[in-house]
Structure 1
Amino acid sequence: MLKHVSFITRDLSATLAFYGRLGGVTEKDILTHEGYRRGVLRLGEGKLQFFQIAGETPQVHPRWPEHIAVYVTGLRDLLPQLRAAGVNVTRDLQPSPGGRDMAFVQDPDGRQVELLET
């Protein structure tokens, strides 16, 4: 099940306002421990997440902030299976900010996919 999709933005305030006009409701506007401003909007049944990274543009920043997040069942068992299938694990199993098991992998096109235990 899809959890959220994340993008980089140059101006988080403008982005939150834009999606607010489309019916989005801002759930978070915080500073991450890496020093990035992070905004999360609920839009219908889904969520959009945006990172504003000072002094950098989407073209030059590493791709980790832009990702797809999905809920999975049995992540501890799934992760070794993905590795055995040749999937690149970019962030190993660790607790998410909410305390669930989490890991990041890359899809065949190099997009980051956050795997989050249900």
Structure 2
Amino acid sequence: MSFVTGDLKAALAFYTRLGGVIEKDLTTSEGYRRGVLLLGEGRLQFFEVPGEAPATHPHWAEHVALHVPDLRALLPELRAAGVTVTRDLQPSPGGRDMAFVLDPDGRQVELLAEG
């Protein structure tokens, strides 16, 4: 997945906290910065483009969903770091713990407990 971000450093820090590993953080020849994270079996790519704001979509279906090893421990850490929790810890339709938070660009992120 690829997203435009208003702050590459904040986006990489947020998703690293959720278990991502930074693969690349570089400035391209076109003048924008790009960061790539390995997250589970996938990759997230962020572009920080000067003068271009990230797109936000309020519709609930447009979100990133991530499996995290210990959601009950992670959620208080995210709150302490100032992350906005939009849906508190609750059972998912499949029975696992889930919660929703906002990333630094206001994008909804669904966090699902592994297992």
TM-score of the superposition, structure 2-length normalised?
Answer: 0.49
More strand by share: 1
TM-score of the superposition, structure 1-length normalised?
Answer: 0.48
